[in-house]
Structure 1
Amino acid sequence: MTPFFLLLCTVILCTILYCFLFKKETNSTRPPPPGPRGWPILGNLPQLGTKPHQTLYNLSKIYGTLIYLQFGSVNVVLASSSNVASQFLKTHDANFSNRPPNSGAEHMAYNYQDMVFAPYGSRWRALRKMCNIHLFSAKALDDLRPIRQTEVMSMTQEVYLHGKKGAVVDVSQVINVYSLDALSRVLVGWKVFQEAKEAIELKAMVVELMQLAGVFNVGDFVKGLAWMDPQGVVRKMKKVHKRFDQFFDALMEARRTGKNKGEGRDLLSVLLNFQEDGADFEEGKLTDTNIKALMLNLFTAGTDTSSSTVEWALSELIRHPDILKQAQEELDSVVGRHHLVKEHDLANLPLFQAIIKEVFRLHPATPLSIPRVGENECEINGYRIPKNATLLVNLWAIGRDPTIWKDPMRFDPGRFFPAGPHAHADVKGNNFELIPFGGGRRICVGMRLGLRMVQIMTATLIHAFDWVLPDGQTHDKLDMEEAFGISLPRALPLAACPVPRLEPSAYEFA
């Protein structure tokens, strides 16, 4: 049998299955939401383009903020407004609490053994509870504050040395190295990399994983084509997973052999002690695979999303020097110019807080929510949402909804001022017009830590330094293109020259 004939038979079989499934799902008298017509077999997949969040946003202008799509044989519903998102993530949250099958969870996230893609149930709740107690509770965050502050001070010192030389700084690289150092001390008890080069290599692995996780893999939606891996995605996923698995094996071996004892307060110590004690975990004992899968979630999300948000914040402020100046004046007034800003200062900086909210509005860490799947049929806005439909929430589009945000494409922190139209909004999942961390029971578990890291790193970088673009580039010409993945970093890393602006004594610390 020739490869061409085999492919032809596969396409014919997929067509039959597609028609059968589509017919089966349209027996209800209530119509599905409106949406664009798709291609045979592939449905709407070819229409997504290289920046699906923008493509889907443009479709919402045509078909409305609740859209029905067909990705291969999979029914997909897209929410692009706060009203529709709240119905899915609040009213019908329990129904949409699970994840659909996908190759990323299978081949990179230890076959759903992690927390992000784990089925909603007792094991997921146990993992989340463990993280909340030891990492993300108010007490844990306060206990771990000295670690964050030390790494921020180290970052400031490095940038200061570059600034004194008049050198250009790769802002993305600096932020990543020190956010990784802070995170690794919290997760495993020591700085996993002693040289910046090694941290940069891990960052490259994280970026690759996040980009692969954001790919709409044809094999996930047209099962008859999965064996072909037509985009080469699964092959790349297995390769990057192997590198991460070796990395986590080495960390666990170093701890077990005593090569690195850590600082005694880290999550890895807690997990290994729990395992060694033989304590019962949900659905059995805690395995090495469980531990590595959880570490994968925390390392990737913690190093990619927070650092990208800080880089976007600094980019927006460089593009808007008047707002940057106002933020610096506020910091000088509250903190002074003789020492660096501290976490306890942040609550007293209303303009700065508004800036961070505006950055989250325009640059959510995940442009499209991690997909969910509906276990049962339901009704939204009079439309039938079929059983097993995959849900996508376009967070990027919600932040640009002109019915909610006046002049939505404009960077305007004033909208969040106490007297502004959105003074009540927060980013913690309570106001669905601003949900950069998602909403409902599967809201990002690391939200509180991520928010603190974004705030203290951004505040420090604009308090301690002025920023000048290199090679005579003007602020209005700064490239703001995005690179789509499961996260949304800048397409081009931000490069700028730091100019120290505080008293010299502010940069003096051990």
Structure 2
Amino acid sequence: MAFQVLLVCLISTIVIVFILRTKQNKTLLPPSPMALPIIGHLHLLSPLPHQDFHKLSIRYGPIMHLFLGSVPCLVASTAEAAKEFLKTHESSFSNRPVQTVAVEALTYGFQDFFFAPYGPYWKFMKKLCMSELLGSRMLEQLLPVRQEENKRFIQRVLEKGVAGEAVDFGGELMTLSNNIVSRMAVSRTSTENEKDVEEMRKLVADAAELVGKFNISDSIWFLKRFDLQGFNMRLNETRDRFDAVLDRIIKRREEERRNNNQTGGTRPFKDMLDVLLDIFEDESSEMKLNKDKIKAFILDIFVAGTDTSSLTIEWAMAELMNHPHVLEKARLEIDAVVGKSRIVEESDIKNLPYLQAIVKETFRLHPAGPLLFRESSRSVVVCGYNIPANTRLFINVWAIGRDPNQWKNPLEFRPERFIDEEGNGHGELDVRGQSFHLLPFGTGRRRCPGISLALQILHVNLAAIIQCFQLKVNGGNDKVDMEEKSGLTLPRAHPLICVPIPRLNPFPAM
């Protein structure tokens, strides 16, 4: 009986506080739908929150205030609103929200780069990324690695095409991206230490799913100590598996470095792990790294660099198969610039403006990160609204790409909108964060440091698929399904499976 009375009092208190807080702040905060006690607006969200936010914004405006359980949130759904938060008030929104058990577990207690708070460590790692890990010198040095993996990818698809076999392009593209990132980060491919690389590929998929999956214990304060959905067991298992793989890789590398120091040997090139271990061993380094920080950073690189690139190519292929006139126009451009006697290369991309427009249009409709997320580090007034500290911010990139006030016929896949001949002012829009109409990599301080690498992988491999193969939808369907699936990124609900028919005869030597 006493427990029941206590429970009623607790719920009553929560309801009263919630009502009073709503009444007190309704003239200061952005518009908001009717909330329910305890769960707030969670009942309005599905496994595809970017779509739900978009529908709500049509009714409640470009800036909304929501409570996801006990977590106060803002949603910005237009380019103008995004600019206010991420440029005009960027200094107040430079942190990422980290209050989830998945992020804490998979980043070794927030010791990674992606979720690290804005401060000295984050600034050091950002500078390291831009100058060493993902800088132009590293990308140029590793050009032969990308070329080799690109050729292996085309060869795998070609062999299946000659045999008349259907190809799961999502899986093949994931293997391609994973191999490139593996070689750049830790010099491992699927042909070397196959067990570790295959395990890493599974870990990347599991990590992306866990970070993107809704966990009710993260949203309702009195449930934080309870593992109602069984998250902790999966998280601990994934973290332990990842830790074991990285420990093996780091141990082998340290032994190799010791042997090289003794014998005067050298590695063919320094990968990302070498750069991080150099800092780890340097007592005079500006910032001291430990093994957990190294492992957390490598996980960031794998998750951010593998899933996003492969998904974007897969979405682009699906759109091209549903729009054969666009595919044919792209193919004619590639044939005119590259010819049919060799495979397209990275150096060709600058001469393929229609291909670049296809990638931009894919970013617009299918951004790999449909929601950018930040958190206010202090109270701030934005667009006349009083935003408290520690308010979570979602920038709905998916909705911005579908804004009819910015894009003519926004639901149509039309790459021509990014060509100057359209005369709509979108020809010069870039994807590096300068235009708030198109933010596939974010903007400002928290912009993705791997933009150049991602664009190289995306353009050259999409171009190679267009150049080398005619694609026949498996099962004889006329259209490719475009349904989305839930996740931290934007995966397809159904795999893209088709038969690749070689179109170059003779096929260029690789």
Q: Into which bin does the TM-score normalised by the smaller protein fall?
A: over 0.9
**Pairing 1:165-204 to 2, within 5 Å after superposition:** 165-191=163-189, 194=192, 199=197, 201-204=199-202
**Pair 1:75 & 2:78 matched:** no
Structure 1 window deviating more from structure 2 (184-193 vs 220-229): it is 184-193
Residue 459 (structure 1) aligned with residue 474 (structure 2): no
Find the partner of 1:65 among 52, 62, 66.
62
Match of 1:304 in 2: 307
Q: Deviations over 1:162-195 (max 9, x none)?
A: 1111111111111111221111111112326548
Structure 1, residues 235-288: CA drift from partner, whole Å, max 9, x if none? 322222222111211111121222998643201011112212333343xx2100
* Rounded Cα–Cα distance in structure 2 between residues aligned with 1:348 and 1:233: 48
Matched residue type, 1:308:
L
Deviates more, 1:271-280 or 1:170-179: 271-280
- Conserved 8 A contact 1:80-1:397: yes
SS in 1 for 2:33: coil
Counterpart secondary structure, 1:69: strand
Q: Deviations over 1:471-503 (max 9, x none)?
A: 2221x2x11111111101111211111111123
SS in 1 for 2:91: coil
1:12 Cα deviation after fit: 5.2
- After superposition, the C-alpha distances for 1:272-326 in whole angstroms (9 at most, x for unaligned) are 12212333343xx210001000001001111111111111111111111111011
8 Å Cα contact 2:188-2:197 kept in structure 1: no
Equivalent position of 2:284 in the other structure? 279
1:318 alignment counterpart: 321
Within 5 A, what are the aligned runs for 1:336-351? 336-351=339-354
Q: Which runs of 5+ in 2 are unaligned?
A: 260-265
Report if the CA contact (8 A) 1:44-1:72 is conserved.
Answer: yes
The partner residue of 1:295 within 264, 289, 298 is: 298
SS in 2 for 1:431: coil
AA paired with 2:303? T
Q: Where does 1:430-469 land on structure 2 (aligned, <5 Å)? A: 430-469=434-473
TM-score (ref. length: structure 2): 0.92
Corresponding residue for 2:31? 34
1: distance between equivalents of 2:194 and 2:467? 24
Q: Report the more deviating stretch, 51-60 or 99-108.
A: 99-108
Deviates more, 1:395-404 or 1:187-196: 187-196
Q: Structure 1 residue aligned with 2:484, among 472, 482, 485? A: 482
Out of 183-192 and 258-267, give the one that drifted further.
Answer: 258-267
Are 1:173 and 1:200, in contact at CA under 8 Å, matched by a contact in 2?
no
Q: TM-score, normalised by structure 1?
A: 0.92
RMSD, aligned CA: 2.3
Pairwise mapping of residues 221-236 of structure 1 onto structure 2 (< 5 A)? 221-236=219-234
Aligned AA (1:123):
Y
Which residues of 2 match residues 15-30 of structure 1 at below 5 A? 16=13, 20=17, 23=20, 30=27
The CA distance in 2 between the partners of 1:348 and 1:190, in whole Å, is 32
- 382, 386, 389: which one pairs with 2:388? 386
List alignment gaps of at least 5 residues for structure 1: none
Equivalent position amino acid for 1:164 in 2: V
* Distance in 2 between residues matched to 1:465 and 1:109, nearest whole Å: 40
Identity of aligned residues (%): 39
Q: Write the letter of the residue equivalent to 2:311.
A: S
Query: 2:159 is paired with a residue of what secondary structure?
Result: helix
What is the CA–CA distance in structure 1 between the aligned matches of 2:23 and 2:286, rounded to whole Å?
42
Of 362, 375, 378, which residue of structure 1 is paired with 2:377? Answer: 375
Q: Which amino acid aligns with 1:438?
A: G
Residue 405 of structure 1 aligns with which residue? 407
Q: Report the 3-state secondary structure (helix = DSSP H, G, I; strand = E; otherwise coil) of the residue aligned with 1:430.
A: coil
- Give the length in aligned residue pairs: 500
Q: Secondary structure at the match of 1:228?
A: coil
Worse-matched range after superposition: 294-303 or 200-209: 200-209
Decide whether the 8 Å contact of 2:18 with 2:37 is kept in 1: no
Partner residue, 1:55 = 52
Which digits, 9 at most, give the CA deviation of each residue in 1:369-413, with x for residues without a partner? 1x2111222222222222221101111111111111111111010
* 2:497 equivalent to 1:492: no
Q: 1:470 aligns with which of 465, 470, 474?
A: 474
